[in-house]
Amino acid sequence: MNTTQEDIVFLPNDFDPLGDRQDINADKTFADISMTHDIIKRFCRNKGAIISLAVILIIAVMSIIGPGMNQYSYSEMKTSFASLPPKVSALSGIGAFDGTENGKDMYALKGCDTDFWFGTDPLGRDLWTRLWTGTRVSLMIALIAAVGNMFIGIIYGLVSGYIGGKVDIVMQRIIEILNGIPSLVVMTLMVMVMRPGVGAIVVALLTTGWIGTARMVRGQTMKIREEEFVQASQTLGASTFRILFKDALPNIMSQIITMAMFSIPGAIFAESFLAFVGLGIPQPQPSLGILISEGYKSLTIHPHMLVIPVLVLSVLMLSFNLLADGLRDALDPKQKDQ
């Protein structure tokens, strides 16, 4: 800018009191954008994240309405129709979903005249219904664990970082001990102690999942504690509670949300891992992990039982990762590429 003294032109009303006109500084070239608007704009520019969000929404909606789309239930067994390949009559022209396996029409062989869209498992249960019910269970476990971990992490980190001193030292040692055991081992042991079930898996995920969030919140809180706006609050007599939740937390919320987002695919994986080890949710309830470990047993004979749940799991995990990436870039552009 080479604005010299002479370029400044004063208008007659420049020195009048402002009164109610608060818009005097409105910039026409760079219109002011609210933070939310800015975040949404940055997020929408990321095509991968948008597609991922759409995919996740589709899978979530299917997990709600999918089980009701045909007449079967997830536990109803029809042993005479066991291990049927996928068949959708309307699609029979395309070479897949035509009910054949190794060139033989299994539906004709077993005398079945209805369609199982994703086939049946060795007990004759409809895999379409089981898949979407299982997806619902897996998503629920992951979401509850992510939210729970976020809460525990925030509280633990805020207390440890803000109070500091001896409290902080003790709390950090506890984290170190918990963190010294590989998380898969902790989860295995926790589920063993509590007997397999949805609740046990969620608690197992909550045992160590919060540590990352707690560490991050603690570090940020310690940094923010020294900032001038917090000191100003303290001088004005704000309570510790108010400083923590009104001053400190909003400043780290974007990082916390990103972290929680990244933990969802981890939780989905952990559930499937436990199922594979034999500590999944009990029969006949399905989950993605249960379906994969059941399908794995007949991988070479009936690959459809494994391929479909593995695909759904992979697409879900990939989408959540890309979505979290996009969220991080949108919420905190400074962190990009780190």
Q: Residue 121: which of 88, 86, 82, 87 has the closest Cα?
A: 82
Whichever of 154 and 190 has its CB closer to another protein, that residue is 190
CA angle, 42 then 45 then 46, to 5°: 100
Residue numbers at the binding site for another protein (CB under 8 A): 173, 176-178, 180-182, 184-185, 188-190, 192-193, 195, 265, 269, 272-273, 276-279, 296, 299-300, 303, 306, 310, 313-314, 317-318, 320-322, 337-338
Cis peptide before 303 (omega within 30 of 0): no
Task: State both tokens at 69.
Answer: 């789309």
- Rounded to an integer, what distance in angstroms lies between the CA atom of residue 204 and that of residue 209? 9
To another protein, the closest distance from the beta carbon of 192 in angstroms equals 6
CA dihedral sign, ordered 168, 174, 179, 183: negative
**Cβ 68 vs Cβ 89: under 8 Å:** no
To another protein, the closest distance from the beta carbon of 291 in angstroms equals 13
Whichever of 153 and 309 has its CB closer to another protein, that residue is 309
The secondary structure of residue 237, as a DSSP letter, is T
Whichever of 243 and 261 has its CB closer to another protein, that residue is 261
Cα Rg for the chain, rounded, in angstroms?
Answer: 27
Whichever of 70 and 188 has its CB closer to another protein, that residue is 188
Whichever of 207 and 255 has its CB closer to another protein, that residue is 207
The number of residues in the chain equals: 338
To another protein, the closest distance from the beta carbon of 47 in angstroms equals 13
To another protein, the closest distance from the beta carbon of 49 in angstroms equals 12
To another protein, the closest distance from the beta carbon of 185 in angstroms equals 5
**Cβ 302 vs Cβ 121: under 8 Å:** no
